[in-house]
Structure 1
Amino acid sequence: MDTARGIDGRKDYGNDATDGALSDTPLNVGSDERRMHVRAYNHWVSLLHGRPYPMIGDLDPGSIADFGSNSVLLDFTAGLENPAIRFLGDRLRGECGVDSSITHVDQVPSRSLLSRLTDHYLQIIANRAPIGFEAEFVGQRGHNTLYRGILMPFSSTAESIDFIYGVINWKELVDAETQAKLDEELEKARSTPRPKPLAAPVWADGPGSGSASADLPVAPRHEPEVPRQMPANAALGDHLMLARETAASVRAADTRSRSALYRALARAYDFACAAQQDGEGYARLIAEAGLKVQKRAPMTPVVKLVFGADYDKARVTEFAAALDHAKRHGVAPGGFGAFIDAAEGGLKGLVKAERAARRPAGPADRYEQAAGQLRTRAAIASVPMGAGDAEFVVLVARRGEAGMLDVVAKLDDDAALTRRAVSRSID
Structure 2
Amino acid sequence: MDMARGINEPLDPARRGSNDDAVADRPLDIGADERRMHVRAYNHWVSLLHGRAYPSIEDLDPDNITDFGPHSVLLDFTRGVEDPAIRYLGGMLREECGFTPAIQHVGEVPSRSLLSRLTDHYLQIIANRAPIGFEAEFVGQRGHNTLYRGILMPFSSDGKTIDFIYGVINWKELVDAETQARLNAEVEESRRAAPQNPVAAAVWADGPSAGFESPEPVEAPLHGSSLADQLLLARESAAAARASDTRSRSALYRALSRAYDFARAAEEAPEDYQGLLRDSGLTVQARAPMTPAVKLVFGVDYDKTRVTEFAAVLSYARRQAVPQGGLDAFLEVVEGGIKGVVKAEREHRRPAPKRDVLARAAEEMRSRPPLGHVAIEAGQDEFVVLLARAGNRGLDIVARFADDAALTERAIRKAAA
Instruction: Please report the TM-score for the alignment, with normalisation by the length of structure 1.
Output: 0.63
2:314 and 2:191 map into 1 onto residues whose CA distance is 48
2:24 and 2:134 map into 1 onto residues whose CA distance is 11
Tell me the equivalent position of 2:79: 78
2:274 and 2:154 map into 1 onto residues whose CA distance is 33
2:23 to 20, 25, 38: 20
The amino acid across from 2:276 in the alignment is G
Contact 1:42 1:244 in 2 (8 A): no
- Give deviations 1:267-287, integer Å, cap 9, x for gaps: 123344567843453454479
Tell me the equivalent position of 1:51: 52
* 2:221 is equivalent to residue 229 of structure 1: yes
1:86 and 1:38 map into 2 onto residues whose CA distance is 23
Q: Cα distance 1:95–1:47, how it changes in 2: closer, same or farther (>3 A)?
A: same
- Give the alignment of 1:111-190 within 5 angstroms: 111-174=112-175, 176=176, 179-181=177-179, 183-184=181-182, 187=185
By how many angstroms is 1:55 displaced? Answer: 2.8
Q: Cα distance 1:339–1:409, how it changes in 2: closer, same or farther (>3 A)?
A: farther
1:321 to 312, 319, 329: 312
- Give deviations 1:133-160, integer Å, cap 9, x for gaps: 1122222223222211111112233322
Contact 1:370 1:423 in 2 (8 A): no
* 2:55 is equivalent to residue 63 of structure 1: no
1:263 and 1:246 map into 2 onto residues whose CA distance is 7
* 2:279 is equivalent to residue 281 of structure 1: no
Contact 2:32 2:237 in 1 (8 A): no
SS in 1 for 2:135: strand
By how many angstroms is 1:348 displaced? Answer: 2.6
2:330 and 2:65 map into 1 onto residues whose CA distance is 40
By how many angstroms is 1:87 displaced? Answer: 2.3
* 2:345 is equivalent to residue 354 of structure 1: yes
SS in 1 for 2:355: helix
Tell me the equivalent position of 2:40: 39
Q: Cα distance 1:133–1:193, how it changes in 2: closer, same or farther (>3 A)?
A: closer
2:305 and 2:184 map into 1 onto residues whose CA distance is 49
- Give deviations 1:111-152, integer Å, cap 9, x for gaps: 321121113311210111111111222222232222111111
Tell me the equivalent position of 2:233: 242
- Give deviations 1:59-89, integer Å, cap 9, x for gaps: 3323323211111122222322332333221
Tell me the equivalent position of 2:209: none
Contact 1:266 1:334 in 2 (8 A): yes
Gaps of 5+ in 2: 1-17, 200-212, 374-382, 389-397
By how many angstroms is 1:322 displaced? Answer: 2.0
> What do you get for the CA RMSD once the two structures are aligned?
5.4
The amino acid across from 2:314 in the alignment is L
SS in 2 for 1:77: coil
The amino acid across from 2:218 in the alignment is V
The amino acid across from 1:180 in the alignment is E
By how many angstroms is 1:180 displaced? Answer: 1.4
By how many angstroms is 1:97 displaced? Answer: 2.0
By how many angstroms is 1:260 displaced? Answer: 4.5
Q: Cα distance 1:33–1:234, how it changes in 2: closer, same or farther (>3 A)?
A: closer
Contact 1:371 1:422 in 2 (8 A): no
1:62 and 1:193 map into 2 onto residues whose CA distance is 40
Contact 1:322 1:351 in 2 (8 A): yes
1:331 and 1:57 map into 2 onto residues whose CA distance is 47
Question: Identity of paired residues, percent?
Answer: 59
SS in 2 for 1:366: coil
Tell me the equivalent position of 1:367: 356
Tell me the equivalent position of 1:403: none
SS in 1 for 2:36: helix
